[in-house]
Amino acid sequence: MANFSHADLIAAFESQFDYLSARTIAGFALKAAGLAQKAKYENADADAVLAGIDAEAGDRADAIKSRLAAPAPAARAPAKPAAKPAAKPAAKPAAKKDDTKKDAAKADGAKAAPAKKAPAKKAPAKKPAAK
């Protein structure tokens, strides 16, 4: 007699089917068991779901049922807080030559002037067609 949650049921079906198929076939298994979706399936309900899996999952039923029968992994102890990262280097790398003018403009609070566009070239005048 295995007890499992609905999330465990879906995970077991997803081990054998794609996302949508797993949910669809799990719904069929619950319908075959005569149950509605619940947060947790215990005792007789769990046994009925397992019977519904036999009816609906075909040749993959054994793999799904063994996944549900496996004991749930033990809850892990809370992880230790990560060590604080080493202090950042105090000196910043030297700026590139191109960036020095921009940095100076930013420091002064001035906005950089937008780039000027080259004047458009005029199309050559059309010559009258010769007769």
- C-alpha to C-alpha distance for 12 and 27, rounded to whole angstroms: 13
**Cβ atoms of residues 64 and 55 within 8 Å:** no
Is a pLDDT exceeding 90 seen at residue 125?
A: no
Neighbours of 101 (CB within 10 A): 10
Of residues 22 and 76, which shows the higher confidence score? Answer: 22
pTM of the model: 0.54
- C-alpha to C-alpha distance for 55 and 24, rounded to whole angstroms: 14
- C-alpha to C-alpha distance for 131 and 127, rounded to whole angstroms: 12
Span 40-47, mean pLDDT?
93
The residues spanned by each domain of the chain are 4-69
Overall size of the chain counted in residues:
131
Q: What percent of the chain has pLDDT over 90?
A: 48
DSSP state of 131: -
Of residues 86 and 75, which shows the higher confidence score? Answer: 86
- C-alpha to C-alpha distance for 30 and 91, rounded to whole angstroms: 64
- C-alpha to C-alpha distance for 27 and 36, rounded to whole angstroms: 9
